[in-house]
């Protein structure tokens, strides 16, 4: 999911990666060809990412990061959200700790992730 038209690589150094993905995977954009990057495109894109996911896993997130925006949208839409807790004074743990308070499931080991994807018996 990109925040530009499919013919635009942003940032430019991702051009080769975008080309590789287009040959063996799928690139999705809600913007027409020729539309360049705008800050609000990336926030808007996060709602689509959250909608496409069954589960969102956040390992690190600052207080106002894009991954935190995506995870909060997922929580609001009753998607599964997992977050790795961290020290309360670590800037990259603030977002995950906030998500856990808001209802995300804490991830303390790999079993917690595996259990999320195994069929419930």
pLDDT per residue rounded down to tens, the chain (121 residues): 999 999 999 999 999 999 999 999 999 999 999 999 999 999 899 999 999 999 999 999 999 999 999 999 999 999 999 999 999 999 999 999 999 999 999 999 999 999 988 876 5
Is residue 33 domain-shared with residue 43, that is, in the same domain? no
Is residue 32 domain-shared with residue 86, that is, in the same domain? no
Would you state the pLDDT for residue 4? Answer: 97
| Distant-in-sequence contacts of 29-33, Cβ < 8 A, 24+ apart | 29/1, 29/2, 29/3, 29/4, 29/5, 31/3, 31/4, 31/5, 32/5, 33/5, 33/6, 33/7
Is residue 92 domain-shared with residue 51, that is, in the same domain? yes
Is residue 24 domain-shared with residue 49, that is, in the same domain? no
Is residue 33 domain-shared with residue 45, that is, in the same domain? no
- Do 40 and 87 form a contact (C-beta atoms < 8 A)? no
Range of the domain at 31: 1-37
Is residue 59 domain-shared with residue 30, that is, in the same domain? no
Is residue 61 domain-shared with residue 103, that is, in the same domain? yes
**CA gap 5, 31 in Å, rounded:** 5
Is residue 103 domain-shared with residue 65, that is, in the same domain? yes
Is residue 2 domain-shared with residue 52, that is, in the same domain? no
Would you state the pLDDT for residue 120? Answer: 64
Strand 55-58 and strand 80-83: the pairing is parallel
Is residue 103 domain-shared with residue 77, that is, in the same domain? yes
Number of domains in the chain: 2
Would you state the pLDDT for residue 116? Answer: 87
Is residue 52 domain-shared with residue 102, that is, in the same domain? yes
Would you state the pLDDT for residue 117? Answer: 84
Q: What are the Cα distances from residue 64, in Å, to 22, 30, 33, 98? A: 30, 23, 29, 11
CATH number at residue 48: 3.40.50.450
Would you state the pLDDT for residue 121? Answer: 56
């Amino acid at each position: 999911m990109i925040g530009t038209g499919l013919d635009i690589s942003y940032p430019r150094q991702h051009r080769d990666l975008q080309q590789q993905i287009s040959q063996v995977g799928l690139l999705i954009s809600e913007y027409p060809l020729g539309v360049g990057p705008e800050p609000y495109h990336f926030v808007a894109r996060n709602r689509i990412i959250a909608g496409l996911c069954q589960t969102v896993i956040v390992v690190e997130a600052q207080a106002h990061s894009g991954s935190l925006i995506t995870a909060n949208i997922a929580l609001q839409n009753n998607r599964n959200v997992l977050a790795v807790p961290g020290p309360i004074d670590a800037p990259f743990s603030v977002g995950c700790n906030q998500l856990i308070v808001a209802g995300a499931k804490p991830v303390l080991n790999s079993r917690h992730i595996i259990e999320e994807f195994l069929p419930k018996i």
